[in-house]
Amino acid sequence: MGRLTVTNLKSALKKPGRHGDGDGLFLQVGTGGAASWIVRVQKDGRRRDIGLGSASKISLTVARERAAAARTDVELGIDPVAKRKKATGIPTFRQAAAQFIAEHHKTWRNGKHHGQWKATLQTYAFPSIGDALVSEVEAPAIRDLLISIWVEKPETARRVKQRIGAILDWAHAKGYREAEAPMRAIGKGLPRQKKQARHFAAMPYADVPDFIRTLRERQSWGRLALEATILTAARSGEIRGAKWGEVDLEKALWTIPADRMKAKREHVVPLSPAALGVFKRAAVLKTAGHQFIFHGNKRDKPMSDMTLTKVLRDLGKDVTAHGFRSSFRDWVSEETDFPGDVAEAALAHMVSNKTEAAYRRGKLLEKRRKLMDAWGAYCEGFQASVVRIVA
C-alpha cells in the first residue's frame, strides 16, 4: 500500500521537494508549484530516475500503474523511455533515413544517389543503429560503426559519416532529437586517415569543363593529346605512346599493353563518347606513315612530354597534364557516388590484394565504363565545333 493518499496528496503538492509513495515512486514538487511523477529504478547496480508525467494530468492511481509498468520493463531489459517515445511517434534511425531520402532524393543532381544512399546505410549503419530511436543515436555508437572501415575504406567511411550526420540534423529539425548530430566529437574519436600524396599541380575539377571548351577553340596535336589525357584519366605518357593497334573504335575500348604501363600489366580503358570523339577526330586527321595516334614531329617517335606542357603554358595554366588525374579523382570523391575502388581501377593504380586485382580486371570494366561516361559528360556539357588541325 502506498504512503500517499488522495488526502495527503493535496498537502504534498504545496510542499516543494520529493514525496515518496513507495516502490520507487515519487511526487516531485518544484519551488514554483509544478509537480510531476518520477519512478526510481535500478538494474545491474545502475540507478535511474524516469519521469512519468505531470501530476496535474496524471492521477495517483495512474502514476502507480505507470511506475509498475516501468519497473517490469526494466527487469525485462526494455528501456521504458524508448518504449514510450516509440509510442509517441519518435522514429527509429532506419525510419528516419527513409523519410529523409524520400524528402531529398528529388533534389539530388545524380539520379543514382537514391540507391547508393540506401546501400551504404544498409551495409554500414543499419546493423548497428538502424533499430535505435533516432533521438537516442549518439557519438559512441556512430564512432564504433565507423571504426572498422575508417582507415581501410576512407572514402566510404566519410560518406557514411556524412549521411548519418545529415539524417540526425534532419531529425533535430523535425523535433525528434534535442541536439544536432555530434559529428565533431565523432571526428575526434577516430584515427587520422592517410592523405594521398599530391605531387602534381592539378586544376580544380570545377574548371575542367571550361578548359575543355578552350582547348577545342583551336586544334593541334598537342591539344588533342591533352584532351584525350583528360577524358581518359590516363597518364600523359600512355596517351603520347598510344598506337592505333591498341584502339577498338567500334567497341570503344583502348587496351594499353603491359610494357607501357607503370604497373607492368595490361590496362583496358573504356572510351566515353567524349573520349571516343577525340580518337575519331585523330583518325580523320592522321598522316600516313605515323605509327602514333597523336603525332609528334618525328614519325618513329612519340610526341614530346613538353608538348602538353607548352599547351598548358600557352593557355596560361599553371598546372600539369598529370594533375588532371587528381582532378578526376577529386570529382569522383566529391561529386559522385561511384565507389573508390572503381575510381582507383580507372586510374590503373596498383592493388596489393591479388584477388581484388583479378576482380578489377574483370567485373569492374562495365562499372568503369559508366564512370568514364559520367566523367566525359561532365567535362563536355556543350557542343564544340571541330576546326582544322594545326601541325
Upper half-sphere CA count for residue 272 (Cβ side, 13 Å):
24
Residue 42: its pLDDT value, please?
Answer: 83
CATH classification of the domain holding 66: 3.30.160.390
Residue 359: its pLDDT value, please?
Answer: 45
Q: In this structure, is residue 1 part of a structural domain?
A: no
Model confidence at 251: pLDDT above 70 = yes
**Residue 349 Cα distances to 145, 200, 341, 346, angstroms:** 28, 16, 10, 8
Q: Are residues 74 and 97 in the same domain?
A: no
Model confidence at 382: pLDDT above 50 = no
Supply the DSSP string of 2-67, one letter for each residue.
Answer: -S--HHHHHHHTTS-EEEEEETTEEEEE-TTS-EEEEEEEEETTEEEEEEEEETTTS-HHHHHHHH
Range of the domain at 137: 93-188
Model confidence at 352: pLDDT above 80 = no
Model confidence at 91: pLDDT above 70 = yes
Residue 384: its pLDDT value, please?
Answer: 35
Q: In this structure, is residue 226 part of a structural domain?
A: yes
The partner residues of 270 in beta bridges, in order of sequence, read 253
Q: Which of 129, 163, 188 is the last residue of a domain?
A: 188
Amino acid at 98: A
In 125-270, alpha helices (H): 126-129, 139-150, 154-173, 183-188, 208-215, 221-232, 236-240
Of all residues in the chain, the percent with pLDDT exceeding 90 is 28
Q: What are phi and psi of 256, to 5 degrees?
A: -90, 120
Residue 52: its pLDDT value, please?
Answer: 81
CB contact at 8 A, 277 and 386 = no
3-class DSSP state of 254: strand
199-209, pLDDT tens digit by residue? 568 888 888 99
Q: Which of 57, 87, 117 is the last residue of a domain?
A: 87
132-146, pLDDT tens digit by residue? 888 889 999 999 999
CB atoms within 10 A of CB 77: 8
Q: In this structure, is residue 14 part of a structural domain?
A: yes
Q: Tell how strand 219-220 and strand 389-390 pair up.
A: parallel
Among candidates 231, 175, 164, which has minimal Cα distance to 381? Answer: 231
pTM above 0.75, yes or no: no
CATH classification of the domain holding 258: 1.10.443.10
Name the grid cell of 76: 525485462
Q: Are residues 161 and 213 in the same domain?
A: no
Q: How far is CA 379 from the centre of its chain?
A: 22
Average pLDDT of the residues in 303-319: 89
Q: Are residues 349 and 382 in the same domain?
A: yes
Model confidence at 169: pLDDT above 80 = yes
Average pLDDT of the residues in 377-391: 53
Average pLDDT, the chain: 83
Q: In this structure, is residue 79 part of a structural domain?
A: yes
Model confidence at 19: pLDDT above 80 = yes
The partner residues of 25 in beta bridges, in order of sequence, read 22, 39
Buried b (16+ CB within 10 A) or exposed e, 321-335: bbbbbbbbbbbbbee
Model confidence at 109: pLDDT above 80 = no
Model confidence at 279: pLDDT above 80 = yes
Model confidence at 69: pLDDT above 70 = yes
Q: Are residues 288 and 359 in the same domain?
A: yes
The residue among 218 and 351 whose pLDDT is bigger is 218
Name the grid cell of 278: 577525340
Residue 290: its pLDDT value, please?
Answer: 79
Q: How far apart are CA 170 and CA 130, in angstroms?
A: 16
Q: In this structure, is residue 198 part of a structural domain?
A: no
Supply the DSSP string of 100-129, one letter for each residue.
Answer: HHHHHGGG-SSTTHHHHHHHHIIIIIHHHH
CB contact at 8 A, 71 and 39 = yes
Q: In this structure, is residue 125 part of a structural domain?
A: yes
Q: Are residues 245 and 382 in the same domain?
A: yes
Model confidence at 41: pLDDT above 80 = yes
Q: How far apart are CA 251 and CA 236, in angstroms?
A: 23
Q: Are residues 42 and 105 in the same domain?
A: no
CB contact at 8 A, 96 and 117 = no
The total number of residues written for the chain in this structure: 391
CB contact at 8 A, 78 and 62 = no
Residue 15: its pLDDT value, please?
Answer: 86
Residue 305: its pLDDT value, please?
Answer: 81
In this structure, of 170-174, 255-259, 270-274, 352-356, the range with the lowest mean pLDDT score is: 352-356
The residue with cell 528529388 is 106
Of all residues in the chain, the percent with pLDDT exceeding 70 is 89
Q: What are phi and psi of 52, to 5 degrees?
A: -115, -5
Q: Which of 144, 162, 188 is the last residue of a domain?
A: 188
Q: Are residues 156 and 300 in the same domain?
A: no
Name the grid cell of 94: 532506419
Number of domains in the chain: 3
Residue 93: its pLDDT value, please?
Answer: 93
Average pLDDT of the residues in 260-288: 88
Q: Are residues 326 and 367 in the same domain?
A: yes
Q: In this structure, is residue 197 part of a structural domain?
A: no
Q: How far apart are CA 225 and CA 254, in angstroms?
A: 14
Q: Are residues 113 and 235 in the same domain?
A: no
